[in-house]
Amino acid sequence: MWLTIQGQGPRRTVASAERKVSNMKNTTWACVAVNTALVSLSFAVWNPLPNAAKVESAQQAPGTPKFQLDPFWPKPLPDRWVTGDVGGTCVDSEDHVFVVYRDNLTKKEQRIATASPPVIEFDPDGKVVNSWGDRKTMPDRLHGCFVDYQSNVWIAGTRDGVVHKYSHDGSKLLLQIGTKGHFDTADGTADGAAMNSSRTVLNGPSAIAVDPTNGDVYIADGTGNRRVVVFDREGRFLRQWGQQATKAQIDAGAGGVFFKVVHYLALGNDGLVYVCDRDADRIEVFDKMGNFRKNILIKSKPGPVTEEGAASWVAFSPDQAQKFMYVADTKDEEVRIMEHTTGQLLSTFGRPGHQDGEFFEYVHAVSVDSKGNIIVSESSPPGETAGMKRVQKFRLVDH
């Protein structure tokens, strides 16, 4: 028997050999088929993007967490806002997500839409609950944000050498590290030769982490300079480590040197500092005094060091042991799921593409909320304005 759904109701087409079957049997089978079709239709309604939601890798180690794209997060932005590149994301204790946006809109976007505020705060459901920031006074070319143990929001800017600490709602600037427009270079300008040494000014800070045990501020001063620099809670210099690496040092796995951009850093619950030596395809691990411990390699495919490195951003699962480590791999446009202590690759999700759940050209940052959900952001390639410029949330569905 064959049954098709057309128009307002079912139509039966029965083979000649079946025409002797009783009307009762025909009616029974038709009802079963119609009910099956209705169940399938109902499933489709409740699962609007079943293919896009299945983001876990086909080859996944047992016990590895699995994630599903939430296609309804975030909610539509108000007032015809259009966002520029995502400079970074961070999550507070209430699982509110802060996203810092740059202002590199296309000419058409500038003409027909409204540039979003630099900072947008989303609640766990993706609703906009606050927005703030004045681009004239904030760090230029926003890159990285961090919510500390006192709920203050820290933001870096790679183009003018400052890091800002704001109150949670953005109404107060609480601290500035560095001097806006002054750089740690031979002549103090953005184009000068990097000195990698100043105790008072920065060069191109890209990320911040604050130690909850003492308030020390760790900064990846990694655009121009090649260092991690540490200040106390009042902004006074404490220590630094790092210098420019050679290709030979990278090939040898030498620690404490960085190839191009010190792109991000994070403090683990284990008391170690995880630093993304992005263009060398590795995460370097140090203790808080800067003593090198080990490399975690993020090499995706064989080949030389490229402009787009694999180790862009790192975050951890929310359990105390931080069993899993998540790495934004800009080279292969995916998120890597790794075992934290060993660095073993367990799985990946995402792929190059334009559809929901995929990443277009420059997956940039990852952050994790208290439930283990992952927020992934995308940016445009350097020097370009065309890109997805979006954030997506992948919900933890199985572990």
3-state secondary structure 134-147: CCCCCCCCEEEEEE
Q: Which residue, 339, 345, 262, is CA-closest to 300?
A: 345
Q: Which residue has the higher pLDDT, 352 or 231?
A: 231
Confidence of residue 313 (pLDDT cuts 50, 70, 90): very high
pLDDT in tens, 59-77: 677 889 999 999 999 999 9
pLDDT in tens, 78-98: 999 999 999 999 999 999 999
Backbone angles phi, psi at 188, to 5 degrees: 80, 0
State which H helix or E strand residue 28 sits in. helix 23-46
3-state secondary structure 325-339: EEEEECCCCEEEEEE
The predicted structure's pLDDT at residue 3: 33
Residue 5 tokens read as 């759904």
Beta strand 9-13 pairing with 2-6: antiparallel
Starting from the edge strand earliest in sequence, which strands make up the sheet with 313-316, in order? Answer: 313-316, 324-329, 334-339, 345-349
Beta bridge partners of 243: 257
Q: Which residue has the higher pLDDT, 1 or 374?
A: 374
Confidence of residue 387 (pLDDT cuts 50, 70, 90): confident
The predicted structure's pLDDT at residue 383: 64
The predicted structure's pLDDT at residue 386: 66
Residues 366-370: what's their mean pLDDT?
98
Confidence of residue 301 (pLDDT cuts 50, 70, 90): low
pLDDT in tens, 147-199: 999 999 999 999 999 999 999 999 999 999 999 999 999 999 999 999 999 99
Residue 15 tokens read as 């083979």
Q: Which residue has the higher pLDDT, 283 or 354?
A: 283
Confidence of residue 309 (pLDDT cuts 50, 70, 90): confident
**Mean pLDDT, rounded, of the chain:** 86
Q: How many CA atoms lie within 13 A of 201 on its CB side?
A: 19
pTM of the model: 0.85
State which H helix or E strand residue 282 sits in. strand 282-287
Q: Are 314 and 326 in contact (CB under 8 A)?
A: yes
The predicted structure's pLDDT at residue 379: 87
Sign of CA dihedral 141, 146, 151, 152: negative
The predicted structure's pLDDT at residue 53: 39
The predicted structure's pLDDT at residue 26: 43
The predicted structure's pLDDT at residue 305: 52
The predicted structure's pLDDT at residue 55: 46
Confidence of residue 279 (pLDDT cuts 50, 70, 90): very high
Asked if the model's pLDDT at residue 398 lies above 90, the reply is: no
Residues 13 and 380: their CA atoms lie apart, in Å, by 54
Q: Which residue has the higher pLDDT, 284 or 386?
A: 284
The predicted structure's pLDDT at residue 131: 98
Confidence of residue 360 (pLDDT cuts 50, 70, 90): confident
Q: Which residue, 154, 131, 121, is CA-closest to 265?
A: 154
Which residue ranges form the domains of the chain, and what is each CATH number?
Answer: 2-46 (no CATH), 52-398 (2.120.10.30)
The region of weakest confidence among 16-30, 135-149, 233-247, 308-322 is 16-30
The predicted structure's pLDDT at residue 59: 63
Residues 271-300: what's their mean pLDDT?
96
Identify the burial level of 348 via C-beta atoms within 10 angstroms of its C-beta, where 0-12 means exposed, 13-18 middle and 19 or more buried. buried
